[in-house]
Amino acid sequence: MTKKKFNWRTLCIILTFIFLYMPIGVLIFFSFNESDSTAVFSGFSLRWYKELFTDTATLNALKNTLILAVLSSIISTIIGTAAAYGISKMKNKYLKNATMSATQIPMINPEIVTGISMMLLFVFVANVLKISSFNGFWTVLIAHITFNLPYVILLVLPKFKEMDKSLPEAALDLGCTPFQSFFKVELPAIMPGIVAGFIMAFTLSIDDFVISYFTTGSGFETLPIRIYSMTKKRVTPDMYALSTLIFVTILVLLLISNFTSGKNKIELSKKAKKVMKIIGGSVFGMIGITTIVVLCISATTEVKTVNVYNWGEYISDGGYDTIDVNREFEEWAENYYKEKGKKVKVQVNYTTYASNEDLYSKIANGAGGYDIIVPSDYMLEKMQKEGLLQPLDLEKIPNCKFINSQFDGMFLYDNTYKNDSDKIVVEKDNKKTYGIAYTYGIIGIIYNSSQITEEQAPKAYERIESGEAGWELLFGEPIPDKDGKYQYDKDGKMIVDTTYLEELKGQILQFNNPRDAFGAAMYYLDIDVNNPTEDDWKAVYGLLATQKDYVQGYVMDEIYNKMEKGEAWIAAYYAGDCLSMMSESADDVELGFYYPKNKDGKPQTNVFADAMCIPASANQDNLELAHMYINFMLEPEIAYANAEYIYYGCPYDYTNIFDYLVFDENNELVLDENGLPVFDMELYEKNLAYVEVYRENLGEDYDIIYNADFENDLLNPNKLRDMFDKFAYKDLTNSYMEGTDVSNLDMLNESWEQLKVASTSMVGIYVTCLVIALAIVAYIVYVQIKKRKQRRLYWANTPTPKAKPKDEPSPDLSATAVIAIEKAKKRDKDSQK
Amino acid sequence: MNEKKIIEPKGETVATGEENVETKKIVQLKNVAKSFDGEIILDHINLDVYEKEFITLLGPSGCGKTTTLRIIAGFVTPDTGDVLFEDERINDLPPHKRHVNTVFQKYALFPHLNVYENIAFALRLKKVSEEEIYERVEEMLAMVNLRGFEKKDVNLLSGGQQQRVAIARALINKPKVLLLDEPLGALDLKLRKDMQNELKNIQRKTGITFVYVTHDQEEALSMSDTVVVMADGKIQQIGSPTDIYNEPENAFVADFIGESNIIDGVMLDDYKVRFSGHEFVCLDKGFDKNESVDVVVRPEDVDVVPLDKGMLTGIVTSVTFKGVHYEIIVSIKDFKWMIQSTDYVEVGQEIGVYVEPDAIHIMKKSEYSNMFGDYSSFSDELEHLSDANEEEE
């Protein structure tokens, strides 16, 4: 009997530990993986730890995070302790409770509210003081102190309450001044609370993402922000290594603090204290020295900065033996100024975001001070319309001639800007260029050819082998009625031929974002994604609803794992990422790739391009450097380094000989003695060599990235541009039907919600919630009934003493008691009858 | 409250109690009053503390004894009245500048310091040389029998040991007055007895004035030179333990100190009092003729005698065995007497009661008359409950 009980308890404990430590365990395990696959453990290696210490951007973010955590936790501990002291000494009970509640409210407040309100505050203050946005280290520090404070107070206040009230009196009694009493007696007595508060604040600060994200500006990036922004591409395994290191550090800190507070470890605690003192001292020393050095350097040389805000993992950063583009630029620009006889220190403040919408909210809310941003096509258009961007000075970007002709004029818009009263002014027929393409990509379909075989899925296999496969493998083929119209069942699901779907049931992955999911369906049905009609919305919703029964899941980043491990058979994703998956797949998984086309060979897919822009709010002093930076990105060496790193398409073409014509100072063609134009053949050959190397490095992947339309090389003809103009998503803020306020974007989100909510898993969640709620209600009712039964006898018969008003005579309690007893007797008699 | 029934301080007469008490006043409270949130805690009290005496403030919780102590220590400033220390007014002197030290109820040892550092605390503040500190701390440790405990963590000591540390810490400053706020309240009975003796010894050895606060009357009687009985923010009686016990000033004091039967009586003449329907000879005089008075008879002074020899007769309603004696409740003329007797009687038995003249003590009527002294609702349990409540304070 006892043995059984024992087992049950151990089981509970083991389960708890599995819940708590399983995720960390997996992370630590994979941080020692040789390959960067999260699916297969290919051998023990310290590669990612090595990689981590060469990743300057991450190390910089780590440094920022640590400095921030140390400073904010120290300051908030001091302020919090002072506040707790003040509160504990309050005499008025109501005021005390009110103050305590007021200090605790920010803790219950959702982080997002705190973050947004702090951001607004800082923008507001900057506006009032008429200074450019100062968001950055100091604002994040203030924000961190703010959200740490309640926790410090919460942990310190009970210690003041616990403390023997006569302790300070004893100190005074023995000759302390009130000041001495606080520092010699009260402070040491509450030290455990202060240390707990400090550690709490420290870990919260390291951990915080939401508030830092909203309050930071250009040039200051903490670790959580950096990790989060990597999600456009994927989190690199050196982050596992970093997380492991952080976890181990915190574990050690915890052990030390537990050891030191152990009552019977006095000897050890002294040693530990010494160690702590040394560590603390050296940390402070290091911070001090760095500050002094930085101040000295900044005092002697002029510093020019350019604040770049880009997607995470979206630039060649020196990891994996690649070029560190930002460092290269700093060096190059410093040399450029040196040749002009100026000693300038150039600094690229590089920070990252995870989605267009994140970027938009930052810029539109006026936070920032960013000089270069890289929005996607549709977002660029939206921001341009709202006057958030400024036109580029193409004369300062001579390399723009190398842009693939297909992108010519792509980001040319009527000049739009905000005037002094923040009204948007559009200068018609005054077109300016607002962006220089950075990358482009196409959505294709990746499939598992070791699972989609003749035996397991003959029809699908046959279809793929024919080379004419399109979206029908993911959606099935719609069966129109005799008028050629789509048919739906009562739930609005489209009726399709499910041959392929049945074969691939449960093996299909779909985008977990509405834009791409609905986009895929629209491309398939040849619907103009930017101008769908009511019927079109009905059709794409019906198609997705039908597909849902066959889908394994709606995923974004998880697709890597699933495809690489062979857990799913087919999915649509961005071509560059598909190529990554193909090269990383497990040994027994073979992945294939194709671009979806219709029967006439017409491409049915989305093309996107991300472009470098300068926000309207950019610092005027940095404009020169910002243009230089954009120009630098178009240097072939740099462009190809980025393209190889990002694995998306490179929108530049260095093979056109006419781009190498030589002009003189007056912008006239230089002619040779024969009257023929002169070409810079040296540069041309050099650049061609880069193109050659790039092609070689990409190997077979080159065709997949650039030859989307299998028949034609997209580098030359205008096919790609065609796709852009016809198929690429715009910002969708146009109204979906004339005469309505509803925009296509609203329709998109609404349909998406409808699609997701109607899921069976959601029903499961509702049922679970309902069951739990019912169980709680039932329990409460049960307890109340039981209580009432138990109280039945005495509760009604005993008068409850009430606080009496001062002047009124008190009611005769004994008289009421007598009456009550009489009643009880009567009731008893009744019940006996 | 307006009734000026305060007993005037009888400073001079106190000296008669013990021969080693000199008559130099060290602390004087003059007309001191204090109220918190409109509630009167101290109602214009006057108190003199003499050099080298062991004075105890005794009273139920809420009587103002601790407030009095804290006024002397300087933690509480009186609303009106003066506090004099060696004839100097110290109302506005902060605690750390006063030549008094306090032993707190819960010891208030500094949890982050060990035994040695706790005791040395006051000296370190005065920047005394390490050698002298060592010497004096060792001396103190010897005095409180804690040699060898220097490095111990105070949080790991027993209650008694913590108490000793607290005493040593307070005494190392060589204060002129040591204030003790119910210092033995948290100790168990046996330990409390030992510590009482030890405290008394320490007081004799050092010759320091002790002002001791307690609600335990037995403790007060056995340790003090002078006992100050307080109730409702007023001093009820000041006197030596024997005076307080034998000559209680009013019904409150009589009831609070030991067990008492307090009966309504009429003073017929000097040395003649009538109560319970019988005329008694007594040793008191100086009352008006036919003045109604409170008569106190201690339970141990009542003899149980055969019916025919009794001055009064009554029926036994309960008998409890108490070890040394039986506690007998007897109903005499509807008034329940308590009698402590070594003779056993049966419940329901009619017995005679005999009271010697010197066992009768006559008191003037006071606001406390008819509130105490009847054992009709007496029960051990109730008394314990009320004790527990007091200790919680």
CB atoms under 10 Å from CB of A183, counted, come to 12
Between A290 and B285, where is the model more confident? B285
Please state the φ and ψ torsions of residue A226, each to the nearest 5 degrees: -65, -45
Beta bridge partners of A594: A445
CATH of the domain at A112: 1.10.3720.10
- Taking each helix axis from N to C terminus, what angle separates A137-162 and A56-88, rounded to the nearest 10 degrees? 40
Closest CA to B33 of B66, B64, B74: B64
Question: pLDDT at position A597, please?
Answer: 79
Question: pLDDT at position B17, please?
Answer: 42
B33's tokens:
């009053």
Confidence of residue A727 (pLDDT cuts 50, 70, 90): low
Count residue pairs from A and B with Cβ separation < 8 A: 67
pLDDT at B385 over 50: no
Query: Inter-chain contact B95–A185, Cβ cutoff 8 Å?
Result: no
> In A71-104, which positions are buried (b, 16+ CB within 10 angstroms) versus exposed (e)?
bbbbbbbebbbebbbebbeeeeeeeeeebbeebe
Among the residues of A208-354, which ranges form H helices?
Answer: 210-215, 223-229, 238-261, 266-300, 325-339
**Mean pLDDT over residues B372-377, rounded?**
67
Please state the φ and ψ torsions of residue B209, each to the nearest 5 degrees: -70, 130
> How many Cα atoms occupy the beta-carbon half-sphere of B339 within 13 Å?
30
Question: pLDDT at position B7, please?
Answer: 42
Question: pLDDT at position A438, please?
Answer: 93
Question: A619-628, A646-655, B18-27, B187-196: which range is least confident on average?
Answer: B18-27
Q: Determine how β-strand B80-85 pairs with β-strand B39-50.
A: unpaired
Q: Which of A580, A606, A632 is the last residue of a domain?
A: A606
Q: Which of A606, A636, A669 is the last residue of a domain?
A: A606
Helix-, strand-, coil-residue percentages of chain A, each rounded to 5: 60, 15, 30
Digit-coded pLDDT (tens) for B207-261: 899 999 998 888 888 889 999 999 888 899 999 999 888 888 888 888 888 888 8
Query: Inter-chain contact B153–A266, Cβ cutoff 8 Å?
Result: yes
Among the partner-chain residues A164, A167, A169, the one whose CB lies closest to the CB of B75 is A169
Question: pLDDT at position B227, please?
Answer: 92
CB atoms under 10 Å from CB of B33, counted, come to 16
Distances (CA, A) of A107 to A104, A140, A148, A385, A718: 5, 17, 9, 39, 57
Helix (H, G, I), strand (E, B) or coil at B218: helix
Interface check B102 vs A, CB under 8 A: yes
Cβ-Cβ contacts under 8 Å, A171 against chain B: 110, 121
Cβ-Cβ contacts under 8 Å, B102 against chain A: 169-170, 173
Instruction: Annotate A667-711 with DSSP letters as a single string.
Output: SPBPB-TTSPBPB-HHHHHHHHHHHHHHHHHHTTHHHHHH--STT
Among the partner-chain residues A173, A185, A188, the one whose CB lies closest to the CB of B102 is A173
Question: pLDDT at position A829, please?
Answer: 62
Confidence of residue A139 (pLDDT cuts 50, 70, 90): confident
Separation in Å, CA of B284 to nearest CA in chain A: 42
Question: A31-40, A198-207, A400-409, B90-99: which range is least confident on average?
Answer: A31-40
| Angle ∠(A14,A23,A250) on CA atoms, nearest 5 | 95
Does residue A568 fall inside a structural domain? yes
Query: Inter-chain contact B104–A170, Cβ cutoff 8 Å?
Result: yes
**Mean pLDDT over residues A646-656, rounded?**
86
Residue of chain A whose Cα is closest to the Cα of B173:
A174
Beta bridge partners of A553: A509
Closest CA to A439 of A588, A620, A575, A591: A575
Query: Inter-chain contact B153–A170, Cβ cutoff 8 Å?
Result: no
Question: pLDDT at position A72, please?
Answer: 92
Does residue A500 fall inside a structural domain? yes
Name every residue whose Cβ is closer than 8 Å to that of residue A124 and which is 6 or more positions away in sequence. none
pLDDT at A271 over 60: yes
Question: pLDDT at position A595, please?
Answer: 84
Digit-coded pLDDT (tens) for A67-123: 888 889 999 999 999 999 888 888 888 888 888 888 888 888 888 888 888 888 888
State chain A's maximal CA–CA distance in angstroms: 133
Separation in Å, CA of A187 to nearest CA in chain B: 10
Interface check B93 vs A, CB under 8 A: no
Question: pLDDT at position B14, please?
Answer: 43
Interface check B126 vs A, CB under 8 A: yes
Tell me the three-class secondary structure of A465-528, residue by residue. Answer: HCCCCCCHHHHCEECCCCCCCCCECCCCCECEECHHHHHHCCCEEEECCHHHHHHHHHHHCCCC
Among the residues of B189-327, which ranges form H helices?
Answer: 189-206, 217-223, 241-246, 251-256
Interface check B174 vs A, CB under 8 A: no
Closest CA to A308 of A248, A398, A218: A218
Judge whether A463 and A476 are in contact, CB under 8 Å: no
Confidence of residue B389 (pLDDT cuts 50, 70, 90): very low
CB atoms under 10 Å from CB of A237, counted, come to 22
Separation in Å, CA of B99 to nearest CA in chain A: 9
CB atoms under 10 Å from CB of B368, counted, come to 23
Judge whether B184 and B160 are in contact, CB under 8 Å: no
Does residue A20 fall inside a structural domain? no
Q: Please indicate, yes or no, whether residues A283 and A308 belong to a single structural domain of this protein.
A: no
Q: Please indicate, yes or no, whether residues A223 and A95 belong to a single structural domain of this protein.
A: yes
DSSP state of A340: T
pLDDT at B64 over 60: yes
Digit-coded pLDDT (tens) for A187-241: 888 888 888 888 889 888 988 888 888 888 767 888 888 877 776 566 677 788 8
Cβ-Cβ contacts under 8 Å, B71 against chain A: none
Among the partner-chain residues A176, A191, A263, the one whose CB lies closest to the CB of B125 is A176
User: In chain B, what percentage of residues exceed pLDDT 70?
Assistant: 89
pLDDT at A716 over 60: no
Interface of A with B (CB under 8 A): 164, 166-167, 169-178, 180, 184-185, 188-189, 191, 263, 266
- Taking each helix axis from N to C terminus, what angle separates B159-171 and B189-206, rounded to the nearest 10 degrees? 20
Separation in Å, CA of A165 to nearest CA in chain B: 8
Closest CA to A186 of A160, A153, A157: A160
Question: pLDDT at position A776, please?
Answer: 93
Name every residue whose Cβ is closer than 8 Å to that of residue A506 and which is 6 or more positions away in sequence. A550, A552
pLDDT at A668 over 70: yes
Q: Please indicate, yes or no, whether residues A635 and A650 belong to a single structural domain of this protein.
A: yes
CA distance B43 to B33: 5
Q: Which of A606, A636, A657 is the last residue of a domain?
A: A606
Digit-coded pLDDT (tens) for A507-533: 899 888 888 888 888 888 888 877 788
Between A821 and A580, where is the model more confident? A580
Question: A591-595, A599-603, B201-205: which range is least confident on average?
Answer: A599-603
Question: pLDDT at position A231, please?
Answer: 63
**Mean pLDDT over residues B38-61, rounded?**
89
Between A319 and A439, where is the model more confident? A439
A537's tokens:
């919305």
Does residue A740 fall inside a structural domain? no
Helix-, strand-, coil-residue percentages of chain B, each rounded to 5: 30, 35, 40
Interface check B95 vs A, CB under 8 A: yes
Residue of chain B whose Cα is closest to the Cα of A265:
B153
Distances (CA, A) of B306 to A320, B177, B311, B312, B351: 114, 54, 10, 11, 6
Q: Please indicate, yes or no, whether residues A617 and A602 belong to a single structural domain of this protein.
A: no
Q: Is the ipTM of this complex over 0.85?
A: no
Question: A95-104, A695-704, B338-347: which range is least confident on average?
Answer: A695-704
Judge whether A713 and A703 are in contact, CB under 8 Å: no
Query: Inter-chain contact A166–B101, Cβ cutoff 8 Å?
Result: no
Residue of chain A whose Cα is closest to the Cα of B102:
A173
Q: Please indicate, yes or no, whether residues A592 and A647 belong to a single structural domain of this protein.
A: no
Interface check B105 vs A, CB under 8 A: yes
Burial class of residue A518, CB neighbours in 10 A (0-12, 13-18, 19+): buried
Cβ-Cβ contacts under 8 Å, A189 against chain B: 110-112
Question: pLDDT at position B4, please?
Answer: 39
Digit-coded pLDDT (tens) for A603-620: 788 888 899 999 988 888
Query: Inter-chain contact A174–B170, Cβ cutoff 8 Å?
Result: yes
Judge whether B227 and B240 are in contact, CB under 8 Å: yes
CA distance B246 to A809: 41
Q: Please indicate, yes or no, whether residues A241 and A115 belong to a single structural domain of this protein.
A: yes
Q: Please indicate, yes or no, whether residues A411 and A311 belong to a single structural domain of this protein.
A: yes
Q: Mutate which of B76, B96, B98, B102 to disrupt the A interface (most A C-beta within 10 Å)?
A: B96
Tell me the three-class secondary structure of A158-196, residue by residue. Answer: HHHHHCCCHHHHHHHHCCCCHHHHHHHHHHHHCHHHHHH
Interface check B322 vs A, CB under 8 A: no
**Mean pLDDT over residues B60-68, rounded?**
88
Does residue A33 fall inside a structural domain? no
Cβ-Cβ contacts under 8 Å, B113 against chain A: 188
Q: Please indicate, yes or no, whether residues A98 and A217 belong to a single structural domain of this protein.
A: yes
Query: Inter-chain contact B108–A189, Cβ cutoff 8 Å?
Result: no
| Average confidence score pLDDT of chain A | 81
Question: pLDDT at position A39, please?
Answer: 64
- Show the domains of chain B with their CATH numbers: 11-246 (3.40.50.300), 251-392 (2.40.50.140)
Cβ-Cβ contacts under 8 Å, A173 against chain B: 73, 95-96, 100-102, 170
Does residue A732 fall inside a structural domain? no
Q: Please indicate, yes or no, whether residues A143 and A122 belong to a single structural domain of this protein.
A: yes
pLDDT at A715 over 60: no
- Taking each helix axis from N to C terminus, what angle separates A514-524 and A744-757, rounded to the nearest 10 degrees? 100
A699's tokens:
């190997």
Q: Which amino acid is at B90?
A: I
Question: A76-85, A511-520, A790-799, A807-816: which range is least confident on average?
Answer: A807-816
Question: pLDDT at position B376, please?
Answer: 64
Closest CA to B233 of B367, B347, B68, B104: B68
Per the structure, the count of domains in chain A is: 5
pLDDT at A479 over 50: yes
Q: Please indicate, yes or no, whether residues A295 and A334 belong to a single structural domain of this protein.
A: no
Cβ-Cβ contacts under 8 Å, B170 against chain A: 173-174
Interface check B153 vs A, CB under 8 A: yes
Interface check B103 vs A, CB under 8 A: no
Closest CA to A522 of A572, A462, A561: A572
Interface check B96 vs A, CB under 8 A: yes
Query: Inter-chain contact B104–A172, Cβ cutoff 8 Å?
Result: no
pLDDT at A18 over 50: yes
Separation in Å, CA of A796 to nearest CA in chain B: 27
Q: Which amino acid is at B126?
A: K
The total number of residues shown for chain A amounts to 833
Separation in Å, CA of A806 to nearest CA in chain B: 14
Does residue A756 fall inside a structural domain? no
Cβ-Cβ contacts under 8 Å, A190 against chain B: none
Name every residue whose Cβ is closer than 8 Å to that of residue A352 and which is 6 or more positions away in sequence. A221, A225, A226, A229, A230, A309, A310, A311, A312, A313, A314
pLDDT at A779 over 90: yes
Query: Inter-chain contact A173–B155, Cβ cutoff 8 Å?
Result: no
Judge whether A633 and A639 are in contact, CB under 8 Å: yes
State chain B's maximal CA–CA distance in angstroms: 79
CATH of the domain at A524: 3.40.190.10
The domain in which residue A463 lies consists of 447-606
* Residue with tokens 């947004």, as numbered in its chain: A116
Q: Which amino acid is at B310?
A: G
User: In chain A, what percentage of residues exceed pLDDT 70?
Assistant: 83
Query: Inter-chain contact B108–A170, Cβ cutoff 8 Å?
Result: yes
Among the partner-chain residues A166, A176, A191, the one whose CB lies closest to the CB of B112 is A191
Q: Please indicate, yes or no, whether residues A472 and A598 belong to a single structural domain of this protein.
A: yes
Digit-coded pLDDT (tens) for A364-394: 877 667 899 999 888 898 898 888 899 999 8
Interface check B162 vs A, CB under 8 A: no
Q: Please indicate, yes or no, whether residues A543 and A575 belong to a single structural domain of this protein.
A: yes
Please state the φ and ψ torsions of residue B273, each to the nearest 5 degrees: -135, 150
Tell me the three-class secondary structure of A113-173, residue by residue. Answer: HHHHHHHHHHHHHHHHCCCCCCCCHHHHHHHHHHHHHHHHHHHHHHHHHHCCCHHHHHHHH
User: In chain B, what percentage of residues exceed pLDDT 90?
Assistant: 16
Judge whether B237 and B246 are in contact, CB under 8 Å: no
CA distance A149 to A197: 9
Question: pLDDT at position A738, please?
Answer: 67
Does residue A727 fall inside a structural domain? no
| Average confidence score pLDDT of chain B | 83
Interface check B6 vs A, CB under 8 A: no
Among the residues of chain B, which ranges form H helices?
Answer: 11-14, 65-73, 115-125, 130-143, 159-171, 189-206, 217-223, 241-246, 251-256, 380-392
- Computed from CA positions of residues B305, B311, B313, B318, in that sequence, does the dihedral angle turn out positive or negative? negative
